[in-house]
Every structure is written in structure tokens, then in C-alpha cells.
Amino acid sequence: MRAITYSSFRNNLKESIRQIREDAEPLLVTNKDAEDNIIVMNQSDYDSLMETVRIYRNPAMVEKILRGMRQAQHGDLHEHGLLDEN
């Protein structure tokens, strides 16, 4: 992860944001006091990260995912049509 000082971030805000967007890589913005450090990232990346956290907090969901992965590894695959939304 790239790091930049708070002053450099402030002085190069537009360029920093452009690079975050293009690279899809979070940016660590540092300050003298490490407790004031922040991470800047795309909203879509943040949303994806939070969805992953939500899934991993749900033991039943994790078990379904792991079961599906084990089935796929053993070649136990089945084709299904799309669910009817009505």
C-alpha cells in the first residue's frame, strides 16, 4: 500500500484521488501521531470490503460458501437456470 504524508495528500488531493481511483489501491495518509493515520479508498472497494466482513460474520453463510467450494473442488457441479424474480 502506498503511503503519503497528510501535507502531501492535502497539497496533491486531486492527483492522489485520481491515482486511488485508477489503481484501485487504498492510500495510507500518515501524520506525526500514528493514531491520526487514515486510509483513503474508492467507495466501491469499501462497499465490497464491508460486504465481505458482513458475510464472514455470519457462520451459516461461511459454511455455505465453504461447502460450495468443497463441492466445486470435487467436481460436484450442477448447472442451474436463473431464478424467476416474480
- pLDDT for 37: 97
DSSP symbols for 22-84: HHT--EEEE-SSGGG-EEE--HHHHHHHHHHHHHHT-HHHHHHHHHHHHHHHTT-----PPPP
Q: Which domains does the chain have, with CATH numbers?
A: 2-41 (3.40.1620.10), 44-73 (no CATH)
User: pLDDT tens across 12-23, in order?
Assistant: 999 999 999 999
Q: What is the mean pLDDT of residues 27-51?
A: 95
- pLDDT for 30: 97
CA–CA gap between residue 77 and residue 68 (Å, rounded)? 9
For residues 42 and 20, is the Cβ–Cβ distance under 8 A?
A: yes
